[in-house]
Amino acid sequence: MIDSHQPNVRIKSSRISSLRDFSRTNRIGEVSQGLVYLYMQNTGFPYINDFHFFCNNSQIAIPYKASTPDFVCQDKSLTNQICLVESKGKETISTGSIKAKLAKAINQCVSGENIINTSGKYNVVKYLGFCAEWSAENNPNDSIFHFVDPEKEIRQQDTNSAPMRFHYASWFYLIGDFENAKRLVNGEKIIFDENNFRQILVNNENYWILRRFPKHMRKQLNFDMPFYIMEDIFFSMGFGGNIGISDKIIKKLINQEYQIIPNIEFTNESTERYESFVDGTIILKR
């Protein structure tokens, strides 16, 4: 989807032109969400949750057909002060008002705040509305990242590690470790099986890289082929075996030392070998 020959980030015309209208709109929306995710991590919000995932695990009911934002974000203070974010996206060649999209994004954040307020557990102290306007590599106009950031009053702060725990629960869910994902959601210690990982050193930082699926995954998922064949295909084709997490993060999650995790410094870095992120996760490139 992304062209790599322009200093300004662009979408590939050959890729986007092959999609039909509905799929084209969906792909633009997905790439825009990814850009917003990285932007939030780079501006002090390393712990990011899907809004519905966050509410479901916080026992917050979402009314039927309610308008909701994309993300619930938490900064390194690990308090009950949270930020809501909605991402929109469009192509420079498409019709539609940027201001209208940004206004709709903020309205979704306001609706999300009303939903979260019913729990009494969190204070929404910030919302951000984004609209990524994408150009293709053959377009003379640059892609532009629009956003609005209305000010809100900061209320009484309480310590709350749940959004951070939910963030790492999503990582464990991604690798098929559903039991540790559940433990983090419930505020329990994770049980880390080193046999499922290999360890590598990147910039003097130890990372655990997934090398096989957790055994309990076999019991929870049904496949039409033997599990070992599916696993061999998955890893041999490069879909797995490149996802990792810092040893420092794992140790703190095992010991439930949640307040120490924000003090561990990581950076977003992109090289030919890997993509590393401020939350201590990494993706190796093959």
pLDDT of residue 232: 56
Tokens of residue 114, six digits = 């009303």
Domain span including residue 183: 162-284
Same domain for 166 and 144? no
pLDDT of residue 212: 80
Residue 5 CB neighbour total at 10 angstroms: 7
Residue 6 CB neighbour total at 10 angstroms: 15
User: Looking at the domain assignment, is residue 154 inside a domain?
Assistant: no
pLDDT of residue 219: 58
User: Looking at the domain assignment, is residue 262 inside a domain?
Assistant: yes
Work out the angle between the directed axes of helices 162-174 and 178-185 (0-180°, nearest 10).
170
Same domain for 185 and 275? yes
Total domain count for the chain?
Answer: 2
Secondary structure in 3-state letters for the chain: CEECCCCCCEECHHHHCCCCHHHHHHHHHHHHHHHHHHHHHHCCCCEEEEHHHHHHHCCCCCCCCCCCCCEEEECCCCECEEEEEEEEEEECCCCCCHHHHHHHHHHHHHHHHHHHHCCCCCEEEEEEEEEEEECECCCCCCCEEEEECCCCCCCCCCECCHHHHHHHHHHHHHCCCHHHHHHHHCCCCCCCCHHHEEEEEECCEEEEEECCCCCHHHHHCCCCCCHHHHHHHHHHCCCCCCEEEEHHHHHHHHCCCHHHHHHCCCCCEECCCEEECCCCEEEECC
C-beta separation of 140 from 82 below 8 A: no
Same domain for 175 and 250? yes
C-beta separation of 122 from 80 below 8 A: yes
| Single residue among 122, 148, 174 that ends a domain in this structure | 148
Residue 78 CB neighbour total at 10 angstroms: 19
Same domain for 80 and 178? no
Same domain for 21 and 121? yes
pLDDT tens, the chain, 286 aa long: 888 777 888 888 887 777 777 788 888 889 999 999 999 999 999 999 999 999 999 999 999 989 999 999 999 999 999 999 999 999 888 888 999 999 999 999 999 999 999 888 999 999 999 999 999 888 888 999 999 988 776 666 788 999 999 999 999 998 889 999 999 999 999 999 999 999 999 989 999 998 887 766 655 555 555 555 555 555 555 555 689 999 999 999 999 999 999 999 999 998 989 999 999 999 998 6
| Single residue among 148, 172, 194 that ends a domain in this structure | 148
Same domain for 136 and 175? no
Residue 7 burial class via C-beta count within 10 angstroms: exposed 0-12, middle 13-18, buried 19 and up: exposed
Rounded to 5°, the CA angle 237-195-192 comes to 110
User: Looking at the domain assignment, is residue 44 inside a domain?
Assistant: yes
pLDDT of residue 1: 83
